[in-house]
């Protein structure tokens, strides 16, 4: 079998493209979790972002409005979660589940009128450079701005958490809300902000799916990516750079599945489709087996409510 | 002036009243959503919540939908009470249906009183097997049960899809993605001629009774309660944590599996792709709305079952999208969680100081 060198580049590029929504959502959720909040509503926020982006694009015709609108929609829906968990001190797990159920319902309700409408072409950058360097060109050039942003995000997130004062505050709030509060930090405000930021990133991830990756609206089109993004955060042991690696593995699994079908490998298609979920479980088991490592890297107050008598 | 004061103790009255409050708030918010969508709110609510159960047929459908919800929610209450987040009941339902369906297919051309019990038993075993995966991974590999149980939902649906399209598809079925019809001996008996309500409801009622007994009359129930309040306390008391985790998962899996059996041997009568309209997920809401109390869960399953029926009726008569049902379900849980605030805090009216 002759493997065209450019074909390798193209496959890598398509793996990266399918990793984009996972990176965006995971990096958003990572910040939320670092502040001590476990938001299981990622899937719901993503699907809200997907329909909002697609609907705004169809109605207004403006891609910029659509992308930012999707992020805003993510922020709005996560506000419900933030209000419930931070102000009304509800259980994080249950509230997150409610958010996902609600999000899937609302998105299908809004999306009813947008089924079957073709999407718009999203502008890509550096198109003219696409054929200059073998292998590298398809990876480096000819992608949407969201693509580049997604691959920069883990590094930005890492810098934010480790080198900035705000990042330190977020980590302090997540690891020891009581001490942070005693230092005069408004724990509730920080957590609010981190939840809303997570919402924005999940909204963007959804918009990427419905506007760039497969430009159309399909019901339930996130198809569990939100849950995989949540698993990736555990996989990364709350380290943004490792999210990049994890997302590439899962992107790879998605893409390999298509190519194996194309080559005619005689494995039932359902098994290939199930592969990312099964691998997620296996990876989680391998990562979590070392309970000491998990305990050391998990934000200490993750999923626990913080309440302060005034 | 109104002041918010922390209660010394969670209020018991509020504990059972807030679900009612949550339902009322959901109705108000639902009316608002209908209004925004351009429907007459009162008419829409009527089609959603009253018309579907106005006759005998509707009432039977209500019980039909409430049966799996109640059964699964009872199982989940074991998990949730003891702080185990099994959110993959949908997968356990599906796998239970696969195993019991497989057994039923073995007997497709046979009749006999012994078939149905074997099929039901197989379903419970299937659900337990599937629930044991997150349980074992949690206890022995420290793996997060939320993510594992959820991932397994997708896997179970793909297994079902593979089976009904491939090896188990009906040889005389013109390649439709479905299996043969089960023999009559493998079907749960219909309770009232002409309606769809079937004997599966007795499974649900039995689960309610047994769970009540376990929760309130046995040592195991007490252990679960303590572990739910504080894992540390449970540890100090010397409870076998791992054993209990596995046990509650198995109970919960068995219930979900039985719900799956009820569906395929009740109204459906064969295996195909869509054996459950997300009963496994909706049951999570039912469990919370019922306050993890067996009797509460009966009422909650009836209330939530209406959202399924209402969504269908409202779609037929008013062209309201059927997903409104899911939106209502999400809202009920939101409002319920929100009104829990009243459990721990109370509003106090104090005279303004001058």
State the pLDDT confidence band at A109, using cuts at 50, 70 and 90.
confident
**Which chain B residues are Cβ-neighbours of A80 within 8 angstroms?**
334
pLDDT attached to residue A310 = 47
pLDDT at B325 over 90: no
Disruptive mutation site among A77, A97, A103, A295 for chain B (greatest number of B CBs within 10 Å)? A97
Percent of chain A with pLDDT over 90: 58
Residue B57 contacts residue B235 (beta carbons within 8 Å) = no
pLDDT-derived band at B251, boundaries 50, 70, 90 = very high
pLDDT tens readout for residues A48-71: 999 999 999 999 989 999 999 999
Mean pLDDT of A146-157: 96
Q: Is residue B164 part of a domain?
A: yes
Contacts of B232 in chain A (CB under 8 A): none
* Residue from the list B144, B288, B321 with its beta carbon closest to the beta carbon of A94: B288
Shortest alpha-carbon distance between residue B214 and chain A (Å): 24
Residues of B65-88 as b/e, b for ≥16 C-beta within 10 angstroms? Answer: bbbbbbbbbbbbbbbbbbbbbbbb
Instruction: Determine whether the interchain pair B158/A271 forms a contact, defined as Cβ–Cβ distance below 8 Å.
Output: yes
CB contact under 8 Å between A105 and B323, yes or no, is yes
Cβ separation B141–A289 shorter than 8 A:
yes
**Chain A residues within an 8 Å CB radius of B150:** 227
Quick one: which of B298, B305, B258, B253 has its CA closest to B278? B305
Q: Which residue has the higher pLDDT, A84 or A266?
A: A84
C-alpha A252/C-alpha A11 separation (Å) is: 9
The chain B residue lying nearest A268, using CA atoms, is B162
Residues ≥6 apart with Cβ < 8 Å to A69: A52, A53, A56
Please give the Cα distance from A85 to A94 (Å, whole number): 10
pLDDT tens per residue, range A193-216: 999 999 999 999 999 999 999 999
Cβ–Cβ gap A284/B340 under 8 Å = no
Compute the residue count for chain B.
354
Give the per-residue pLDDT at A276.
87
Give a yes or no: residue B262 inside a domain: yes
Residue A103: partners with Cβ closer than 8 Å, 6 or more residues away:
A41, A43, A44, A45, A47, A48, A77, B330
Inter-chain contact B85–A284, Cβ cutoff 8 Å?
no
What is the per-residue pLDDT for B225?
82
Q: Which residue has the higher pLDDT, A237 or B193?
A: A237
Tokens 């450019």 belong to which residue?
A6
Residue of chain B whose alpha carbon sits nearest to that of A231? B147
C-beta atoms of B323 and A273 within 8 A: no
Alpha-carbon gap, residue B53 to B152, rounded angstroms: 35
Chain B residues close to A273, C-beta within 8 Å: 158
Q: How many CB atoms lie within 10 A of CB A72?
A: 17
| B218 within a domain of the structure (yes/no) | no
What is the rounded distance in angstroms from the CA atom of residue A202 to the CA atom of residue A52? 12
Contact map slice: A 124-183 vs B, CB within 8 A:
none
> What is the distance between the alpha carbons of residues A113 and A296, in angstroms, rounded to a whole number?
48
B127 versus A250: the higher-pLDDT residue is B127
Which residues of A are less than 8 Å from B282 in CB distance?
101
Top pLDDT among B14 and A77 is at: A77
Task: Report the alpha-carbon angle A172-A176-A179, nearest 5.
Answer: 90
Backbone phi and psi for residue A88, each to the nearest 5 degrees, phi listed first: -95, 5
Q: Domain of B190?
A: 62-211+232-290
How many Å apart are CA A142 and CA A259, to the nearest integer? Answer: 22
pLDDT for A9: 80
- Confidence band for B354, pLDDT divided at 50, 70 and 90: very low
Contact B162 A309 (CB under 8 A): no
Mean pLDDT of A88-97: 90
CA distance A257 to chain B (A): 14
| pTM of the predicted protein model | 0.90
Task: Give which of B272, B253, B262, B270 is closest to B162, Cα–Cα.
Answer: B272
pLDDT band per the 50, 70, 90 thresholds, residue A155: very high
Name the minimum distance, in Å, from the CA of A262 to any CA of chain B: 19
Under 8 Å CB-to-CB from B196, ≥6 apart: which residues?
Answer: B60, B61, B64, B190, B266, B267
Chain B hits for A108, Cβ within 8 Å: 321, 323, 326
From A19-23, A79-83, A177-181, B241-245, the region with the lowest mean pLDDT: B241-245
- In angstroms, rounded to a whole number, what is the distance separating the alpha carbons of residues B53 and B50? 6
Q: What pLDDT does B351 receive?
A: 65
| Predicted confidence band of residue B138 (pLDDT cuts 50, 70, 90) | very high
Mean pLDDT of A291-300: 82
Q: What is the ipTM of this complex?
A: 0.88
What is the average pLDDT across A146-173?
96
Q: Where exactly are the structural domains of chain A?
A: 5-297
Q: Which residues of B make CB contacts under 8 Å with A?
A: 6, 37, 85, 87, 137, 141-144, 146-148, 150-152, 154-155, 158-159, 161-162, 165-166, 281-282, 284-285, 288, 321, 323-331, 333-334, 337-338, 340-341, 344
Model pLDDT, residue A52: 96
How far apart CA B13 and CA B299 sit, in angstroms, is 17
* Alpha-carbon separation of residue B66 from A20, A144, B23, B198, B202 (angstroms): 41, 48, 17, 12, 12
Contact across the interface for B340 and A271, Cβ inside 8 Å:
no
Of A104, A273, A285, Cβ closest to residue B141: A285
Just give the CATH number of A5-297.
1.10.3470
- The structure tokens 């593995």 sit at A249
| Burial (0-12, 13-18, 19+ Cβ within 10 Å), B36 | exposed
pLDDT higher than threshold 80 for residue A261: no
In angstroms, rounded to a whole number, what is the distance separating the alpha carbons of residues A253 and A146? 21
- Interface touch B326/A274, C-beta < 8 Å: no
Give me the mean pLDDT over the B219-239 stretch: 81
> B325: which chain A residues are within 8 Å (Cβ-Cβ)?
105
Query: Six-digit token pair at B262?
Result: 């009820």
Q: Does A231 touch chain B (CB under 8 A)?
A: yes
Share of chain A above pLDDT 70, in %: 96
Tell me whether residue B185 is in a domain.
yes
Give the span between the Cα atoms of A280 and A256, in whole angstroms: 16
% of chain B beyond a pLDDT of 70: 99
Which two tokens mark B143? 């793996």
Phi and psi based region of residue B331 (left: phi greater than 0; alpha: psi -120 to 50; beta: remaining): alpha
CB pairs under 8 A between A and B: 128
Mean pLDDT of B237-244: 80
C-alpha span between B181 and A128 (Å, rounded): 59
Q: Is residue A40 within 8 angstroms of chain B, CB to CB? A: yes
> Which is nearest to A146 in space by CA: A56, A64, A60, A218?
A64
Interface of A with B in 256-275 (CB under 8 A): 268, 270-271, 273-274
Q: What is the mean pLDDT of chain A?
A: 89
B224 in any annotated domain: no
Compute the distance between CA of residue B310 and CA of residue B26 in angstroms, rounded to an integer. Answer: 14
Identify which of B151, B166, B329 has the shortest CB distance to residue A281: B151
Closest CA of chain A from B202, distance in Å: 29
Question: Residue B353: is its pLDDT beyond 60?
Answer: no
Mean pLDDT of the residues in chain B = 89
The model's pLDDT over B104-125, given as tens digits with 9 standing for 90+, comes to 999 988 888 999 999 999 999 9
Neighbours of B37 (CB within 10 A): 15
> Across residues A104-127, what is the average pLDDT?
85
- Angle (nearest 5°) at CA B79 between B75 and B85: 120
CA distance to A288, B125, B214, B285, B327, per residue, from A101 (Å): 27, 28, 30, 10, 7
Is residue A1 pLDDT above 70, yes or no?
no
Task: Choose the mutation target among B18, B30, B150 for the interface with A, i.e. most A CBs under 10 Å.
Answer: B150
- Section B147-167 average pLDDT: 94
Residue A292 burial (CB count, 10 A): 8
Cβ-based neighbours of B339, under 8 Å, separated by 6 or more: B18, B21, B22, B25
How would you write chain B as a 3-class SS string?
CEEEEECCCCCHHHHHHHHHHHHHHHHHHHHHHHHHCCCCHHHHHHHHHCHHHCCHHHHHHHHHHHHHHHHHHHHHHHHHHCCCCCCCHHHHHHHHHHHHHHHHHHCCCCCCCCHHHHHHHHHHHHHHHHHHHHHHHHHHHCCCHHHHHHHHHHHHHHHHHHHHHCCCCCCCCCCCCECCCCCHHHCCCECCCCCCCECHHHHHHHHHHHHHHHHHHCHHHHHHHHHHHCHHHHHHCCCCHHHHHHHHHHHHHHHHHHHHHHHHHHHHCCCECCCCCCHHHHHHHHHHHCCCCHHHHHHHHHHHHHHHHHHHHHHHHHCCCCCHHHHHHHHHHHHHHHHCHHHHEEEEECCCCC
Q: Which of the residue ranges A34-38, A113-117, B29-33, B235-239 would you say has the lowest mean pLDDT?
A: B235-239
- pLDDT of the residue at A2: 54
Give per-residue pLDDT as tens, B42-95.
888 888 888 888 888 889 999 999 999 999 999 999 999 988 999 999 999 999
Contact by Cβ (8 Å): B229, B217? no
Residue A200, pLDDT score: 98
Nearest CA in chain A to B334: A98
Q: How many domains is chain B partitioned into structurally?
A: 1
- B2 inside domain: no
């Amino acid at each position: 079998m002759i493997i065209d060198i450019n074909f390798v580049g193209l496959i890598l590029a398509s793996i990266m493209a399918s990793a984009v929504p996972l990176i965006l959502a995971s990096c958003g959720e990572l910040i939320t979790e670092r502040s001590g909040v476990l938001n299981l509503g990622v899937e719901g926020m993503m699907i809200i972002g997907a329909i909002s982006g697609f609907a705004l694009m169809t109605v207004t015709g403006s891609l910029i409005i659509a992308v930012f609108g999707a992020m805003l929609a993510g922020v709005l829906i996560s506000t419900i979660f933030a209000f419930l968990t931070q102000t009304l001190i509800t259980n994080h797990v249950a509230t997150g589940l409610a958010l996902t159920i609600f999000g899937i319902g609302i998105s299908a309700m809004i999306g009813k009128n947008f089924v079957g409408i073709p999407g718009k072409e999203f502008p890509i950058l550096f198109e003219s450079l696409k054929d200059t360097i073998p292998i590298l060109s398809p990876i480096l050039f000819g992608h949407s701005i969201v693509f580049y942003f997604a691959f920069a995000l883990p590094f930005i997130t890492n810098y934010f958490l480790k080198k900035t004062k705000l990042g330190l505050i977020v980590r302090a709030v997540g690891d020891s809300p009581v001490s942070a509060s005693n230092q005069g930090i408004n724990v509730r405000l920080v957590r609010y902000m981190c939840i809303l930021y997570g919402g924005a990133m999940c909204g963007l991830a959804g918009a990427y799916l419905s506007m760039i990756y497969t430009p159309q609206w399909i019901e339930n089109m996130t198809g569990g990516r939100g849950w995989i993004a949540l698993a990736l955060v555990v996989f990364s042991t709350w380290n943004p750079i490792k999210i990049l690696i994890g997302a590439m593995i899962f992107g790879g699994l998605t893409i390999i599945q298509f190519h194996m079908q194309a080559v005619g490998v005689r494995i039932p298609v359902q098994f290939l489709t199930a592969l990312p979920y099964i691998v997620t479980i296996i990876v989680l088991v391998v990562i979590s087996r070392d309970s000491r490592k998990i305990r050391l890297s998990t934000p200490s107050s993750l999923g626990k409510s913080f309440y302060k008598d005034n | 002036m109104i002041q918010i004061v922390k209660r010394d103790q969670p209020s018991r009255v509020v504990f059972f009243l807030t679900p009612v409050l949550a339902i009322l708030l959901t109705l108000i918010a639902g009316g608002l959503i209908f209004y925004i969508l351009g429907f007459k709110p009162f008419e829409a609510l009527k089609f959603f919540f009253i018309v579907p159960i106005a006759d005998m047929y509707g009432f039977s459908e209500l019980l039909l939908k409430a049966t799996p919800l109640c059964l699964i929610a009872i199982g989940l209450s074991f998990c949730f009470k003891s702080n185990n987040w099994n959110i993959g009941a949908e997968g356990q339902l599906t796998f239970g249906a696969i195993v019991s369906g497989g057994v039923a297919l073995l007997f497709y051309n046979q009749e006999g009183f012994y078939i149905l019990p074997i099929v039901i038993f197989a379903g419970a075993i299937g659900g337990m097997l599937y629930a044991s995966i997150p349980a074992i991974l949690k206890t022995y590999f420290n793996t997060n049960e939320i993510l594992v149980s959820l991932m397994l939902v997708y896997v179970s649906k793909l297994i079902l899809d593979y089976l009904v399209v491939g090896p188990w598809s009906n040889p005389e079925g013109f390649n439709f993605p479905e299996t043969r019809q089960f023999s009559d001996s493998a079907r749960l008996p219909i309770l009232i001629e002409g309606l769809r309500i079937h004997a599966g409801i007795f499974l649900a009622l039995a689960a309610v009774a047994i769970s009540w007994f376990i929760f309130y009359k046995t040592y195991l129930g007490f252990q679960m309660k303590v572990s739910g309040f504080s894992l540390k306390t449970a540890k100090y008391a010397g409870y076998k944590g791992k054993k209990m985790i596995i046990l509650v998962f198995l109970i919960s899996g068995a219930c979900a599996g039985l719900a799956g059996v009820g569906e395929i041997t009740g109204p459906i009568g064969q295996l195909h792709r869509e054996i459950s309209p997300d009963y496994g997920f909706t049951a999570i809401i039912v469990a919370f709305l019922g306050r993890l109390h067996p009797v509460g869960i009966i009422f909650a399953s009836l209330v939530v079952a209406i959202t399924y029926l209402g969504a269908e009726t409202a779609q037929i008569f008013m062209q309201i999208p059927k997903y409104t049902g899911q939106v209502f379900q999400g809202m009920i849980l939101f409002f319920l969680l929100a009104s829990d605030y009243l459990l721990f805090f109370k509003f106090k009216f104090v005279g303004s100081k001058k």
